[in-house]
Amino acid sequence: MPTSQHFQISKIVNLIVHLAPKSVLDVGPGFGKYGFLCREYLDCWKDRGEGYGKFLTRIDAIEVFEKYLTPVHRFIYNRVYVGNALDLLPTLEMDYDLTLMIDVLEHFEKDEGKRLLMSALAKTKSLLVSVPRDLGNQGELFGNEHEAHRAEWTAQDLLSLAPGYQIRDNVSQIVFMGAQQQVNSLKWIMDPPFLVRMKRAIQGI
């Protein structure tokens, strides 16, 4: 469906804010939620830009189902490419600081999903993926055949393809993938050792 569960929102947005990317590619934006949140917290929250509506962060998207697109998408995204990400990703001229695939991979067969991930990793400095732990039995929705769930993914499946870090979540498998140094740095911020967490708690951080 053109949305995703709400439990993961704060974890994903917190990670995006820490990364502070200057360019983002949102693969399968659906309703546009994460493009909207990226725009809000990478530009509006930090007062970046030359006035409201004149933003500095480049945020693009790839959407396979054109009927999902609304005036909101046209305002939030710099550009929306319409088509299958498998076909479009390798053709993009721009490389991105961060690519998002939030509740997208489960809509691809396993071999197609791996090809999609490798194409994304070739076009981006870092990749953030979220897939449901419980695949369920979802078929076509809203007249969109691409909504069907086709393959189940584990964090191990994702981490076998590139250096990465799994973010704890009971409902979704959330994995950040990127250069090893970036992974190590992010892990320290998002999931610090016990003694560091205790020190932060004492200091009220």
Confidence of residue 151 (pLDDT cuts 50, 70, 90): confident
Burial class (CB in 10 A: 0-12, 13-18, 19+), 6: exposed
Q: What is the mean predicted confidence (pLDDT) over 22-38?
A: 94
The pTM assigned to this predicted structure is 0.85
- If one compares 142 and 171, the residue with the highest pLDDT of the two is 171
